[in-house]
Amino acid sequence: MVIATVFLTIIAMAGGFVLGERQRNDDRTVGGGTSPADQATESPASVFTPPGPFCPDETRATAGRVGLTSEFWQVLKIYTDSSTYWICQDAKGALVYQSRTGGIGTPLVEGKNGLFLQGVRRIGKDSYEVTDQKGNQFVITPDLFELRFADDRRPQRDKARLAG
């Protein structure tokens, strides 16, 4: 009787081991391995809602050339008497600055009448600033464009209006 009990115990242990290994392999192939009670619940990622229309094609092309996504949307667009300014945002929240000199209908040509800058910082609800490679600081708000020069020149301040 003792031998039969030992024999049945060995068979049961071997069977349990085989079934346990099979379950572990199944869990690995489907990404499981933990019970629902052990898993941390994660809320689904929020869906990105574009803040406005796409930024100009030239802005998006320049962003792509410098290694950024080319998917940028308008956060702020203002006009002054001589220029147009955009603040654009990608789906991850990165902000860029784009400007164009000339009248409203003037085409944007990067390197000729346009300036593209990365590293824009939000400094208020609808206010942004960015510094260029020369140390000049640009401030853009719905009603003001300001350029603070790195040297001793007086800042350039232009009244602005929102693009409609």
Q: What is the pLDDT of residues 121-163, one digit of tens each?
A: 999 999 999 999 999 999 999 999 999 999 989 999 999 999 7
What is the phi-psi region of residue 17: left when phi exceeds 0, alpha when psi lies from -120 to 50, beta otherwise?
alpha
Query: What is the band of 87 on the pLDDT scale with cuts at 50, 70, 90?
Result: very high
Q: What is the pLDDT of residues 104-115, one digit of tens each?
A: 778 888 788 999
CA neighbor of 76 nearest in space, from 156, 112, 130, 134: 130
- The answer to whether residues 33 and 103 belong to one domain is no
Average pLDDT estimate for 12-18: 53
Number of domains in the chain: 2
Residue at 75 is within a domain = yes
Residue pair 75/56 in contact by the 8 Å Cβ criterion:
no
Residue at 46 is within a domain = no
